[in-house]
Amino acid sequence: MKPTPRKKEWEKKYRAQEAYLEEIKNNKASLRFGKNYIKNSEISGQIFCERQVELKYILGEVETEQLIVGGESHEEVAKDSEKISPREGWEKIFTSPYFWVLESLFFANYKDVHFAFKPDRVLFEKGVPKLLIEFKFSKYYNREPFRSQEVQLLSEGLFLNELGFNTDSLLYAVIIAPLKIEKNIRLLTEIPGYVYKKIKNYKRGFPTSFNDIEGTNVSAYVYQFELDITKKNVDWALQYWKEEREAELTKNINKCRSCNYISSCERKKIISIQS
């Protein structure tokens, strides 16, 4: 009798993704708002203002110019990428010396809770994630990233770690571009590769930044992934979804002045008095 051949590493990871998806479909809702999984973007939203995340669920999402234009710009950046099946993608992750994954959905389990995350870009070298990328299109492009934007990438790194990837050498980069940048700008699709070439043998340590790249007002901010800090952020976020505490309001009241949900928030009176 022939021995059963061992599955390759990429096959194990691919099957695990299928299993997580089935679990999400079949799991009983055990989280706040009847959810049975958490989107990674919700964690970064909680860091920005947890009460705002809650009001989005209660009242529905308000479409803003930044949300619409930012979504269109993300689509533009990814539109020329080659589309392959998830199975083929997982094989390439482990067999290619250099492989970018764009806008692909991943599932992970952390502390018995399922998470879904979709990195803008993640570079793998023979099965090792090297660089996570997040594009941000904003009116406030001439500044360093907000903490919430960093947390989005940090939690993606944590979930890759939970999937069994080695994240010891993982870096992450927030690329900030003007909200109304030319949609067909060639440079946007090339910046991830540009950044990686710059940092591959970088000796000065991190964080670092590359500002106003080729005079386009586009900047890239690069950081070293830190697992312990990330776990604290996600653990804090989980307390809310497990209904162990109520939503916390942002400590930065300036965020409230431009919040689309302020009319339904307990901060409404404070903002009215100050204005």
User: Closest by alpha carbon to 122, among 64, 81, 65, 182?
Assistant: 81
pLDDT at 257 over 50: yes
pLDDT at 271: 75
**Tens digits of residue pLDDT in 64-101:** 555 545 455 545 555 666 789 999 999 999 999 999 99
Beta bridge partners of 177: 137
**Tens digits of residue pLDDT in 104-148:** 999 999 999 999 999 999 999 999 999 999 999 888 888 899 999
pLDDT at 82: 79
DSSP designation for 35: B
User: Closest by alpha carbon to 196, among 130, 148, 111?
Assistant: 130
- Cα distance between residue 275 and residue 172, in whole Å: 38
Runs of H (alpha helix) within the chain: 9-26, 40-59, 65-78, 86-95, 147-162, 186-199, 227-241, 254-257, 268-274
- Cα distance between residue 118 and residue 203, in whole Å: 30
- Cα distance between residue 243 and residue 31, in whole Å: 7
Q: Average pLDDT in the 237-245 region? A: 98
**110: amino acid identity, one letter:** Y
pTM of the model: 0.89
pLDDT at 187: 77
Domains of the chain with bracketed CATH: 9-274 (3.90.320.10)
Q: Which residue has the higher pLDDT, 2 or 82?
A: 82
Q: Average pLDDT in the 263-269 region? A: 91
Cβ-based burial of 83 (10 A; exposed 0-12, middle 13-18, buried ≥19): exposed
pLDDT at 126: 94
Q: Which residue has the higher pLDDT, 28 or 185?
A: 28
